[in-house]
Amino acid sequence: MATALTTLFLAALALTTVLRLWLARRHVRHVAAHRGAVPAAFRESISLEAHQRAADYTAAKVRLAMIEVVTGALFVLALTLGGVLQVLHTAWSALGFNGLPHGLAFIAGLAVLSTLIDLPFSLYRTFVIEERFGFNKMTPRLFLVDLAKGALIGALIGLPVLLAVLWLMERMGSYWWIYVWLFWLGFNLLALLIYPTVIAPLFNKFTPLADASLRERIESLLARCGFRASGLFVMDGSKRSGHGNAYFTGFGQAKRIVFFDTLLEKLAPEEIEAVLAHELGHYKRRHVWKRIGVLALASLAFLWLLGYLIDAPWFYEGLGMSTPGTAPALALFSLAIPVFTFPLSPLMSALSRRHEYEADAYAAQQTHARDLVAALVKLYRDNAATLTPDPIYSVFYDSHPPAAARIAQLKAA
């Protein structure tokens, strides 16, 4: 069984890596092939220069992602069959760690290694690609501060959560996976509740929306939609990036509506209202809860599978470890599952795109469809989003419908 798992894992890793590289190559070629002309539906609103800038921006990001794909595959291979995880496990044991402290140190060490592997790509993406195309507002100092804050929050929240998970895995018998699942669901709901008021303000400044006429327009929309929010806020997104967006976050009495300051600068009031109506469409169509439900079922299935594998010696041996245990099982499973599940990505992407169409339809009912079209065209242009994605690449990766299809459906509304 161990040999069979090793063979299957290597085959899946190779297939996933080749598939992701093939998709990326297709996407770059497709965007480049359509770089010379703006799609007919956008010729009156987006210049050829802006269209070509978006094509170049897309190509730069995807080429970096291709290097990340190869690096990530080699990293996973080194951790598992290359024996790095086993070395890490043995090293903590040699330092005198055992039991739950050993499990915490082992997985924390893996997290640190993963961060170090990702760091050069994050730096290049921020200070080379985003800088080259005029989006980066981040300073090296702010980057380091964000990194430190993220690490501190990860330790303060992540370590206690991990400790609870490992404790449940060890103490709750053969059905531990049900207890872990319930705990994980509860933690995620709690995170949704406290994120807007506790976590997000650590990274950005949120100020009440000051524009009285815009506030009146938005409050009228909220009343029509039957949506109650705890506040309308503007976030200093321009502190880090030139990209713009709007969103609502939290649930219950903690719901907040947040606008990036960059969005308010670029869109007219009626366009801002239309964008917000789209976001409210996600709420009214219960998309957040539907996605939570899908993820809850998926996590239950994965935890059940881990519950089956955790006592199987061939599971550890087949993935390069000789020491069984709760922490090694959790680490190996988290590394192996993405390798096997990537071909299923189109399912979640299709669900997300369906939700986007539904939210657009809702916005068209509550505001004028032409205002949402105008807002989207500006956002595509100003965020340098490609108007010509490769269709197959889009099926795997894109959570939003292609621009042309989305605009066409809105115009037909």
| Strand order across the beta sheet in which 246-249 lies | 206-208, 232-235, 256-260, 246-249
Phi, psi (5° rounding) for residue 207?
Answer: -120, 145
Please give the helix or strand (H or E) that residue 207 lies within, else none.
Answer: strand 206-208
Which residues are CB-neighbours of 84 under 8 A, at least 6 positions away? 78, 113
Q: Is 118 a catalytic residue?
A: no
Sign of CA dihedral 34, 37, 41, 42: positive
- Residue 165 CB partners (closer than 8 Å, separation 6+): 180, 183, 184, 330
DSSP 8-state code for residue 196? I
Q: Which SS3 state, helix, strand or coil, does residue 250 take?
A: coil
* Residues 412, 396: Cα–Cα separation, whole Å: 26
Token readout for 45 is 């609103």
Q: Choose, from 130, 356, 360, 382, the residue flagged as catalytic.
A: 360
CA 390 to chain centre: 21
Calpha distance 74→13 (Å, rounded): 10
Q: How far is CA 255 from the centre of its chain?
A: 20
Look at the block and give the residue holding tokens 């190869």. Answer: 70
CA within 13 Å, CB half, 13: 20
HEC-encoded secondary structure of 112-128? HHHHHHHHHHHHHHHHH
Instruction: Considering the candidates 130, 271, 273, 279, report the single residue annotated as catalytic.
Output: 279
Q: Tell me, yes or no, if 356 is annotated catalytic.
A: no
Q: Give 394's Cβ-side CA count (13 Å radius).
A: 16
Q: What is the set of active-site residues?
A: 279, 360
